[in-house]
Amino acid sequence: MGLFDRIKRAFTGEDKVVKEEIEQESSAVVFDSYDKGLEKTRTNFTDLLSNLFTGFREVDEDFYEDLEETLIGADVGFNMTLALTDAIRDEIESQNVHKPEDVKRVMLEKMVQLYEREGGDNLVALKENPDGPTVILFVGVNGVGKTTSVGKIGYQLKAAGHKVLMAAADTFRAGAVEQLNVWGQRLDIPVVTGQDQGDPASVVFDAVKRANEEQFDYLLVDTAGRLQTKINLMDELAKIKRIIERENPNGVQEVLLVLDATTGQNALIQAKQFNEATDISGLVLTKLDGTAKGGVVLSIRYDLDIPVKYIGLGEQATDLQVFDSEQYMYNLVKGAIEKN
């Protein structure tokens, strides 16, 4: 049963049952992580909806204008807001609903339905190389948590029994190599490094060679993300990819863009810009627990055909969770359902 059907049932008074079902389908740790990690976003979304329906009189043009302001305030994004408002308008007219609780039900149901139609969790799993090490490139601007994400994902892969190697190819950022070395020492994962301000491609060459010779399962590459010089970024990533494709069977498996969720719609802008510079296969959305702007996941899903693969729900290495769209959507809207 999809989340759309669960939300419909929740509005009929079965919210406790729906919560138990979703909790049983994942570990208690995962459920609690999403519950706590999305608290600020959920509270913001619930408060915005409460304000929308305070003093509700009728469904008219003023209501739809307020609805658009509410969705944009929740960082759902402009394009998703327009599509969602049109879908809600059509459904309200089709069902001929007037009561505020029915209007809210239609709104949340259409939000979930529109989100589910834009993609599924089948794209979340990391692609694996069947013949040689799986190579994952991490890109992103400074300060988004890129190097930390490399370390956390490396930790999880090692904990799952995989042999992991990391490459410090962000040679231009002060402290990036040192930071990845700290992660490597802490996790007992080897790190390939080069000269400060040196050629990132040479680091990658050495890393791929070692990954092949020593039969590593995964090679995680921390790359430089100088988005302000897009041509240089494209050239650099293209050079890195050529080296990997020459030295590694099946080339690069994933290019993951790391984004800071606290920047809201700026994260979406960065995603669009990076996607123009190189082919992004997935997104890592960090610091989601520290922001009320978690609605940006909706706009990213709607505007870009790129799956969110990991979300950061806390400081611990285990708090970088594989993205679960049902957990995300349920924890986003459950506050509004409970207040219905």
Is 292 flagged in the annotation as binding? no
194 annotated ligand binder: no
Q: Strand ranges (DSSP E) for the chain?
A: 134-139, 164-169, 191-192, 218-223, 254-260, 282-286, 308-312, 320-322
- Return the bridge partners of 259, or none: 285
C-beta separation of 329 from 38 below 8 A: no
> Does residue 71 have a known ligand-binding role?
no
In this structure, of 128-137, 154-163, 245-254, 325-334, the range with the lowest mean pLDDT score is 325-334
Q: Is 184 annotated as a binding residue?
A: no
| Residue 334, annotated as binding a ligand | no
Does 164 score more than 90 pLDDT? Answer: yes
Residue 287, marked binder: yes
Q: What string of DSSP letters covers 93-139? A: HHHT--SHHHHHHHHHHHHHHHHHHT--GGGTSPP--SSS-EEEEEE
- Residue 54 assigned to a binding site: no
pLDDT-above-90 percentage for the chain: 44
27 sits in which H/E element: none
Q: Per the annotation, does 140 bind a ligand?
A: yes
CA 119/CA 307 separation, integer angstroms: 8
Q: Is the pLDDT assigned to residue 274 strictly greater than 80?
A: yes
Q: Would you say 43 is a known binding-site residue? A: no
Cα gap 172→195, rounded to integer Å:
10
Q: Is the dihedral of CA 242, 248, 253, 254 positive or negative?
A: negative
- Residue 12 labeled ligand binder: no
Average pLDDT of the residues of the chain: 86
Instruction: Write the DSSP assignment of 51-70 as a string of letters.
Output: HHHTT----SHHHHHHHHHH
Q: Is 144 annotated as a binding residue?
A: yes
pLDDT at position 122 is 56
Convert the pLDDT of each residue in 219-273 to its tens digit. Answer: 999 987 665 555 677 788 888 989 999 999 899 999 999 999 999 888 888 888 8
- φ/ψ region of 190 (left if φ > 0, alpha if ψ in -120 to 50, else beta) reads beta
- The predicted-structure confidence for 47-105, as pLDDT tens digits, reads as follows 998 898 887 888 889 999 999 999 999 998 899 999 999 999 999 999 998 888 888 88
Residue 182 annotated in ligand binding: no
The pLDDT value given to residue 192: 96
User: Residue 198 and residue 201: Cα distance in Å, rounded?
Assistant: 9
pTM for the complete prediction? 0.88
What local confidence, expressed as pLDDT, does residue 306 receive? Answer: 84
CA dist., res. 46 & res. 42, Å (int): 6
Domains observed in the chain? 3-121+330-338 (1.20.120.140), 126-327 (3.40.50.300)
Was 143 annotated as part of a binding site?
A: yes
On whether 168 is known to bind a ligand per the annotation, the reply is: no
Beta pairing partners, 135: 219
222 assigned binding-site residue: yes
Q: pLDDT tens digits, residue range 143-163?
A: 889 999 999 999 999 999 999
Say if residue 126 is exposed, middle or buried (CB neighbours under 10 Å; 0-12, 13-18, 19+): middle
| pLDDT computed for residue 231 by the predictor | 62
330, 3 in Cβ contact below 8 A? yes
70 marked ligand binding residue: no
Q: Give residue 119's pLDDT band: very low, low, confident or very high (50, 70, 90).
A: low
CA distances from 154 to 30, 56, 132, 166, 218 (A): 19, 50, 17, 8, 8
**224 labeled part of a ligand binding site:** yes
